[in-house]
A and B are shown apart, each in its own frame.
Chain A
Amino acid sequence: MLPQYFPLFPESASTLSPRVDALFFFIFGVTIFFTVLVALLICVFAVKYRKDKHPVPVQIHGSIPLEIFWTLVPLGIAMVIFAWGAVLFFQEKHPPKSSMDIYGVGKQWMWKFQHPGGQREINNLHVPVGRPVRMTLISQDVIHDFFVPAFRAQMDVIPGRYTYTWFEATKPGVYHLFCNQYCGTKHSGMVGEVTAMSPDDYEAWLRGAGAFGSLATHGQNVFASMGCPTCHTGADNARGPNLYNIYGRMERMSDNRLVHVDESYIRESILNPSAKIVYGFQNIMPTFQGQLNEDEMIELIEYIKSLTYNGQLLQLQTNTQQEPPVNLDKIQKGVDVMQPGTNTTPMPRTSAVPVTQEAQEPSTAEPAPRQVVVPGKQKAPAKPSTTARPKGEQHP
């Protein structure tokens, strides 16, 4: 509408943009109305009642009806704006069920993005058009802020906790990505580009982006190398909760509260395991604070999310030796390990499960992403030893 070099309005490139803009124009209208009203009144009074024209003022004490009128009318308008804004806020806060996941890590002064298929990018983010993308964000140092004006999407990126935002791009293009929370010397250099692509282009980009295994497969290795399967065996007498199917459901804690198992909860349970104890388990898990970096944490979370894959489950096996339990590649039907008494009765799957699955399918060229063997990390599958217990369900 305006020349490229002198735009006055931001590009509108997400499903949320028109909704934000509509409300913006409504408040803009209100602003114009009252500004013009007040300015007009002042000008009219100033001219009409200037002292030369109107030397004798009329003393007026005030008017209760008028006071009530100009209290209630602005209040009513304010409440309309509040309600409209609140509804919009809920839409901004709650990504659609069909969202795909992308992870973003901010650090002074760059952005790192990870796709579930293992593709990594710096200061660049490729997303498909027409598909909601949920960003899970965390900072490695100070507070940053993920801001894509064209998508009207913004969220602070905080160290030590996940924050989320989402968008669904509507037209292909390259858009600004800004860090919008002052973060030190090169704050204004912490910028990047979001490239929205047609689904086919995005598919092609994913294939060409050179991923070495999906996040979940990396996470599988982290899971093993940290010794998690020792306790999270999946058996009914295991010391740690079963992790199978856990993502996205409501889990009962020892103090009887119900907790929604999301990325934040999984992260907290790994770094600060005693914060919330699953009902029926002891507070025995050591903290992994300082042992995992944010990338590994994301991989681990993706792995735990993947433990619902396609109705199948990964059976983890370990032997009684102190060897790192690395034999993670057997996929079996999961029904037989749903043990009574472990407090892990699976709830109906939430949307999060297909999300993960969908997010991974296009992201890897291989047909069965979870079976990819990461070079150097995995040994040959160990045979189940006599004491091996079926595992595959864990819970921190």
Chain B
Amino acid sequence: MSTATQVPAALEMPRDTYLNAGYGVKSWFLTKDHKRIAILYLVSITMFFLFGGLMAVLIRLELLTPAPDLFQSDTYNKLFTMHGITMVFFFLVPSIPATLGNFVLPMMIGARDLAFPKVNLASWYIFMIGACFTFSAYISGGVDTGWTFYTPLSTSYLNTHVVAAALGIMIAGFASIFTGLNFIVTTHRMRAPGMTWFRLPLFVWSMYAVSLVQVLATPVLAITLILVALERGFHIGIFNPQLGGDPVLFQHMFWFYSHPAVYIMILPGFGVISEVIPCFSRKRIFGYSAVAFSSVAIGVFGFLVWAHHMFAAGISTYSALVFSLLSFIIAIPSAIKVFNWTATMYKGSIHFNTPMLYALAFIGLFTIGGLTGLFLACLGIDMHVTATYFVVAHFHYVMVGGMLVAYLAGLHFWWPKMTGRMYPEPPAQLSALITFIGFNITFFPQFVLGYMGMPRRYHTYPPEFQVLNVLSTAGASVLAVGLLLPMFYLLWSLKYGEIAGNNPYRATGLEWQTESPPPMHNFHETPIVTQEAYDYESMNEEEVVIG
């Protein structure tokens, strides 16, 4: 396998970059530069990811045997709760928007920064304050509500630090709102001359859709968690029927945020893939407007399907029908995207750089993740598989196989832009392969377990499920290797990586026209856009000249 990189001999690092604009602690922690804030986010969420991953490893180890071996039930319950909360609220939701989005979105549209740089910095502080609350709950004994906080269990029956954990999530939610707000205003107001809406890179479209969802849905989560805290602290009957509340109301409110949140998590991934595949196929994206509008459609329909998490929760038959129908409809835009990405490769000139390998893995895994969603959207089947390992497998295919893989694709893709140095290609390609294989061994058996009826969140399980669980744990250890490798070689590349140059992949997009790493204000002069996004035709012509 080879690279698209056409590195002329003596590349030098640019003289003034955002990285050497200042070295003090203050220059980082009081920065208003979107690129430095992105790095702050990147470091934080990597820590949280490692913590959440450690929890996952412990869970898989416990599930090696049907009996309780390593932990007591309460500890096990805390493990999967901390795994879920950390991964969802402190890794997946901020992952691409707050790191890659923060870094490249202003550059992609030719702006000097986001519209509200101070709000952007505030969002990181709010995020970290939220994390402090939640992690203080972990440290002072853990939380065992499950990441879904279902009532009345969370409000009246557990004596762990539910309120601290919930408040932390609520606070971190505001970081998400701030980021979304910033992106919306930036996309509307700060595009470079000539950058029309239909010249925007698809990453910007997907970030725009995500931002809308973040701004509109996250407040509902905040309200819900406040209500949980009120009922827990002051016994105000909202969700507990013994206090006159309605336990299912909580589920409606929670999923009204948390289903759109699924799209908050996966839409940015779509954006990354829409950048990577054209670049390494040396070809414009197939069906630009179909891909752009499907992002928006997902954002809109994402608000209307929340009750498909509740088909077995006693909602009325007819409302279940409506939510099932809408859930099938929202599957279509995702299918359109998959077909367009695949068609983009047709008659391309495919380069197998690491980001492309991750993107191909993404398409495969997301296709499986999306199609298994059909089982769950289907009322008759969902009544059997809901809340089993089938669901666990499905959303890990989407969230890990989809989102995490897309995040890694994007991280490798923009790594030279962020650091000025290339990641080493061979170990990166190897780790993409290991991740893909390990992921499938981990999660595919869980589909089988789920249809056989193994419930999720079980500390102990009947012995006939053991073989598949052992397989899953074995896969998890492979996956762990695949995910840890990048940490090493990426850190290594900071010092020893090849100097990348402005545009190592010869990609289109304004972010590649400036230096790597970019200067403080991104561009030395404001770019003027005269072409559509993904104009690989002229890019390839240049390449031929160079070649």
Contact = CB atoms under 8 A, between A and B. Distances in A.
Interface of A: 4-10, 19-20, 23-24, 27, 30-31, 34-35, 38-39, 41-42, 45-46, 49-51, 54-63, 66-67, 70-71, 74-75, 78-79, 81-82, 84-93, 108, 141-143, 145, 147, 149-150, 152-156, 158-161, 163, 176, 178-189, 191
Contact of A187 (B343, B375, B378, B457): B457
A35 B380 contact: no
A163 B316 CA distance: 11
A57 B281 contact: yes
B328 A187 contact: no
Contact of A185 (B77, B152, B321, B460): B77
B452 A10 contact: yes
B457 A161 contact: no
Contacts of A91: 380
A156 B313 contact: yes
B363 to A, nearest CB: 6
A14 B242 CA distance: 36
A189 B247 contact: no
Contacts of B424: none
Nearest to B448: A8
B367 A35 contact: yes
A62 B351 contact: no
B374 A38 contact: no
A220 B286 CA distance: 73
A86 B380 contact: yes
Given A35-B371, A92-B383, A149-B384, A75 B332 contact: yes
Contacts of A155: 312, 314, 383
Contacts of B133: none
Most buried by B among A87, A184, A186: A184
Most buried by B among A10, A82, A145: A82
A154 B347 contact: no
Given A59-B283, A156-B314, A5 B73 contact: no
Interface in B478-504: none
Nearest to A109: B73
B28 interface: no
A7 B324 contact: no
A191 B351 CA distance: 53
A56 B349 contact: yes
A10 B456 CA distance: 16
A42 B328 CA distance: 25
Given A50-B350, A78-B331, A27 B378 contact: yes
27 contacts: A5-B463, A7-B464, A10-B453, A31-B375, A46-B345, A51-B350, A56-B540, A60-B283, A61-B284, A61-B287, A62-B286, A62-B289, A63-B287, A67-B336, A71-B336, A87-B380, A88-B380, A91-B380, A142-B150, A142-B157, A143-B313, A147-B455, A149-B452, A154-B387, A182-B457, A184-B153, A187-B77
Considering the complex of A and B, which 5 residue pairs feature the smallest CB-CB distances, nearest first?
Answer: A149-B453, A88-B380, A160-B241, A85-B378, A89-B379
A45 to B, nearest CB: 4
Contact of B381 (A23, A58, A145, A153): A23
Interface in B118-169: 144, 146, 148, 150, 152-153, 156-158
B467 A5 contact: yes
Contacts of B536: 57, 59
A172 to B, nearest CB: 19
A46 B360 contact: yes
Nearest to B347: A58
A82 B287 contact: no
B348 interface: yes
Contacts of A178: 453, 455, 458
B98 to A, nearest CB: 29
Contacts of B289: 62
A42 B241 contact: no
Nearest to A264: B314
Interface string B357-375: 0001001100110011011
Given A8-B448, A24-B381, A74-B331, A181 B287 contact: no
A166 to B, nearest CB: 11
Contacts of A56: 349, 540
A34 B335 CA distance: 10
A41 B281 CA distance: 14
A164 B459 CA distance: 27
Contact of B451 (A5, A24, A147, A187): A24
Interface in B513-547: 536-537, 540
Contact of B364 (A42, A51, A184): A42
A42 B363 contact: yes
Contacts of B350: 45-46, 49-51, 54
Given A10-B452, A187-B77, A189-B73, A81 B349 contact: no
Given A78-B374, A149-B384, A7 B331 contact: no
A181 B150 contact: yes
A323 to B, nearest CB: 33
Most buried by A among B152, B312, B372: B312
Contacts of B283: 57-60
B388 interface: yes
Contacts of B346: 45, 49, 60
A60 B344 CA distance: 8
Nearest to B146: A182
B291 to A, nearest CB: 9
A92 B540 contact: no
A50 to B, nearest CB: 5
Contacts of B460: 188-189
A159 B247 CA distance: 8
Contacts of B451: 9-10, 24
A179 B158 CA distance: 18
Contact of A180 (B240, B380, B388, B462): B388
B362 to A, nearest CB: 11
B74 interface: yes
A67 B372 contact: no
Given A34-B367, A71-B332, A186-B73, A9 B378 contact: no
A84 B458 contact: no
A92 B386 CA distance: 14
Contacts of B157: 108, 141-142, 184
Contacts of A39: 364, 367
B342 A42 contact: yes
A163 B247 CA distance: 13
B534 to A, nearest CB: 9
A34 B334 CA distance: 13
B282 interface: yes
A71 B331 CA distance: 10
Nearest to A74: B335
Contacts of B343: 60, 62, 66
Contacts of A59: 283-284, 536-537
B314 A163 contact: yes
Most buried by A among B287, B335, B348: B348
Contacts of B286: 60-63
A260 to B, nearest CB: 13
Contact of A188 (B156, B368, B458): B458
B288 interface: yes
Contacts of B384: 20, 24, 149, 152-154
Given A42-B342, A78-B332, A67 B290 contact: yes
Contacts of A50: 349-350, 352
Most buried by A among B338, B363, B379, B457: B379
